[in-house]
Structure 1
Amino acid sequence: MDLFSVQVEEDKLHPNFINVSKDRDLVKVLNTWAIGFQDRDNKFAKEFQTTFNTAFWELYLHACFSNLGFKMDYSYSSPDFVVETRKKKLEMVIEAVSTRHADDGTPEYDRINAIDEMFKKGDIEDTALYDEIVHIATERIANSIRNKVDKYHKNYSKLDHVKGKPFILAIGSFEQPFFYSQGIGAIEKVLYGLVKAEYKGNDPYFEYSDNIIKRKSGEPIPIGLFNDPKFSFISGILFSPVASIGKVRALSINKKKSVYFNTYTYNDYDTKAEIKMIPHKKYRESLLDGLSLYLNPYADNPIDSTEFDNRDIAKVYSNDFREIKHGFLYSRTVNDIQDF
C-alpha cells in the first residue's frame, strides 16, 4: 500500500497529510506502521490523504497490535480488527474510534486560530484551560461511544465472528487543537464519572457525577459508562491522547537538534506528576507509551488482561485499581525552536 502517492487534487489534501508528506523522517515511520496492513476497500490511502486522522489512528493500532504479537484477520469487512492474541490464541474484536471536532468546533490541525482565540479571551490560567480541554474531549468521546453503541446493536452484534468474543473500542482523540494535553481526564469522566481527582494532604480525594452539561445546549450528557451493567457488551476501552504526529516524530531515527519534547508523566514517588523538557537527541518514547486499557467490570466477554502485558501500557481495572508504570506518558507536546 502506497500511502504517499497523491491520489486527489491538491486542494483536497488534508493539512496534516501535507505536513507529514514533506518530512521524510515522518514518512519512514508511517510506512513502517503500514507493514502488513491490508486495504480491504481500496480507499484507505485516499482517506489518509483527505481526512487523515481516522486512517492515522487505524495505522497506529495496526502497529500496536503487531508489536504485541497479535495476528490480525483482515478478511472481515467490519469491525476494524479481528485479532488472535499471542499467548493464549484468544480472539478479540476491536473497533477503531477517532473523535473529531463538533460541526461548529475548531479542527485539531487549526492551532493558529485556536491560539489566537485563546489570546482574545485574555490571560487564561493553566487549570482553566485544561478544564476546558477536558470538557470538550469528554463531550466528543461520549458522543463517539454513543454512535458506536448504536452501531453495535444494529450491526456488529449480529455478526457471527463478533458473537461471544471480547468487543473493544479503541479510541483516539482528535477533537480539538490541544487534544494531546487532555491526559486521562476526559476518558475517566466518560467511563467512571470521575469529575475531580486531587490530593488533600497525602490522601486521594475523588468526586463523581452521573452527567456533565453540554456547553452549547445545556443538555445533560450521561457519563460513568463502566458503572452501568447495560454497557456489558463493551469488554474494554483502549485509549490514547498521544498517538499523534508527535508520536511519529518521537519514533523517528533522525533526531533534530531544534526539537524539544515537553512531557507530563506519572510519578510513582510523589503526589504530583513529573514535568520535563527533553531535547530530541535524548528523548525516548515507545510506540505503546501513553496507551491505556480500561477493563469493563461488567463485561459479558471479559478481556484476558495478560495479553496486553507490556510495561508501557497502563491497565485500569477500576478507578481504585490500576497497573501503571512510573513515567507513564499522560501528555506530550513537541516544540521546534526553528518555528519561533
Structure 2
Amino acid sequence: MVRQFQETFHSTYWEIIIYQLCLEAGFFLNQSHPFPDFIIKKPSEFYIEAVVANIKQTGIPECKRTIEDQLSMLTPPHLQKDFADVLNESIIRSSNAIFSKIKKYEDYKKEQWFDEKKPFMIALSSCDQINYGREFIYSMMALLYGRYYIPHENGCIIKKYIKKGETGAELPLGIFLNSDYSQISAIMYTCTNTIGKLTALALSKGLHTFNSVLDVIRDEEDEELPFKFRIVSNDSPESISDGIFIFHNPHAKQPINPRLFENTNVTHVFLENNRLVQMGITTPLYTRFSINSFMAQPLFNEIIASSAVKWNNITPDIINQMFNEKL
C-alpha cells in the first residue's frame, strides 16, 4: 500500500511539474485527446509523454530513509563508495521506464489524430532508489550517449553496456547513437523532483516553511570552483524548471527546438562532434539538501564551507581565500 501510494504520488507530482513548466515556457496545450500526456499546440506543435523510474519491488522503500540518507546528498560522487552501484541501478530503472514509453509510442501511431511528423519527447523523473538524486545526469549520459562517468577521474569512458546485478544480463548503453530510436526527439529528465522542491518553491515566493533548503549548483563556466551553494529564498529563488534537463537525440527525425524553452531554466544537452555540450542555463541544479529551519541558520555556513572543500576537491585554506568572492 505504501509503495503504491509513493509511485502514484511521484507520477502525479511529475505531471504537475511538467504542466507548470509548460506555463512557464508560454506553451498552449490541447488536452482534447487522452494521450500523450501533454499535447503542445503553440508556439510549436509537439508531444510530451511523462514517466517515472520508480524503486524496484525488492528495493529499499522511501519510508525507510534515514538522516544518513539525507546527508548523503551532500557527498560528491568521488567520495561515494557505492556510486557505481547507484549509477548502474539508475541506468537500469531509467531504461525500463523509457522503453515502456517507446512501446507506447508504437500504440499511439495507430490513432488517426496522432501525427508522427511532430516531435515526441519522453519526460523522465528519476525516483529509482532510496537516495535518488545522487546519480545527477550521469545515468542519462551513459544510457543515451554511452558516456559512463568515472568519479575519481572526473570524466567519462565510452561504454557499450552494463550488466544487471541480479541476472548478469547485458543492458545496452548509448541508445541515442542508434537510429532505431529516431522517433524519440529528446528525453526531458530530472532527479531532483523531491518534496524539497515544494519547499524550495515556497521559500522562493517568500512563504514560511518549517524547513530550509540548500541547493548545490554546478557552474559549467568556472573551472576553478565549479560547485556553488545557494540558500533558497525570495532573493535567491529556485524556479520550477531548475534541475530539469533536455537530452537531444542526434538521430531524431523530428528534433525539438531548444528555443522553445528559452524562458525557463532548462539545461539542454547535445552530442556534437562526438562531445557532449550544454546550452541554456549553464549553472544547473545538481542536488538539494533540506533541513529543519531551527537547525539551518547555525549549520548552513559550516555545511557550505565543508561541502565546498569536498565538492570542489580543494583545501580549506583555498576556500577561506575564495569564500566571500564566490560562494
Question: Do these two structures clear the TM 0.5 threshold for a shared fold by scoring above it?
Answer: yes
Percent sequence identity over aligned pairs: 24
Structure 1: unaligned runs, 5 residues or longer: 1-10, 17-49, 119-123
Corresponding residue to 2:119 among 166, 174, 199: 166
TM-score for the superposition, normalised by structure 1: 0.74
Structure 2: unaligned runs, 5 residues or longer: 297-327
Corresponding residue to 1:235 among 185, 191, 194: 185
Aligned to 2:319: none
Corresponding residue to 1:98 among 33, 52, 71: 52
Provide the rounded CA distance (Å) in 1 between the counterparts of 2:234 and 2:263. 25
TM-score for the superposition, normalised by structure 2: 0.77
Provide the rounded CA distance (Å) in 2 between the counterparts of 1:257 and 1:320. 40
Aligned to 1:335: 291
Corresponding residue to 2:108 among 130, 153, 156: 156
Task: List per-residue Cα deviations over 1:251-310 (Å, max 9, x = no partner).
Answer: 103244752414142341116631426265764211111111111111111112211224
Provide the rounded CA distance (Å) in 2 between the counterparts of 1:113 and 1:325. 31
Corresponding residue to 1:107 among 61, 65, 77: 61
Q: How does 1:1-340 map to 2 (within 5 A)?
A: 51-86=8-43, 90-112=44-66, 115=69, 126-153=79-106, 155-159=107-111, 160-196=113-149, 205-252=155-202, 253-256=206-209, 259-270=212-223, 273-276=226-229, 278=231, 280=233, 283-310=236-263, 312-318=265-271, 319-336=275-292
- Whether contact under 8 Å (1:182, 1:331) holds in the other structure is no
State the SS of the aligned residue for 1:170. Answer: strand
State the SS of the aligned residue for 1:59. Answer: helix
Task: List per-residue Cα deviations over 1:153-204 (Å, max 9, x = no partner).
Answer: 2x1122232321101000011111211222111111110111136797xxx8
Provide the rounded CA distance (Å) in 1 between the counterparts of 2:215 and 2:256. 33
- Whether contact under 8 Å (1:236, 1:303) holds in the other structure is yes
Task: List per-residue Cα deviations over 1:22-78 (Å, max 9, x = no partner).
Answer: xxxxxxxxxxxxxxxxxxxxxxxxxxxx82111111111011011111111111111
Provide the rounded CA distance (Å) in 2 between the counterparts of 1:255 and 1:267. 32
User: 1:326 offset after TM fit, Å?
Assistant: 3.9
Provide the rounded CA distance (Å) in 2 between the counterparts of 1:129 and 1:280. 33
Provide the rounded CA distance (Å) in 2 between the counterparts of 1:129 and 1:60. 30
Aligned to 2:325: none
- Whether contact under 8 Å (1:180, 1:333) holds in the other structure is no
Provide the rounded CA distance (Å) in 2 between the counterparts of 1:306 and 1:115. 37
Provide the rounded CA distance (Å) in 1 between the counterparts of 2:89 and 2:176. 20
Provide the rounded CA distance (Å) in 2 between the counterparts of 1:290 and 1:304. 19
Q: Which amino acid aligns with 1:85?
A: K
State the SS of the aligned residue for 1:151. Answer: helix
Distance 1:286 1:279, change over 3 A: closer
Task: List per-residue Cα deviations over 1:221-265 (Å, max 9, x = no partner).
Answer: 111111000000001111111122111110103244752414142
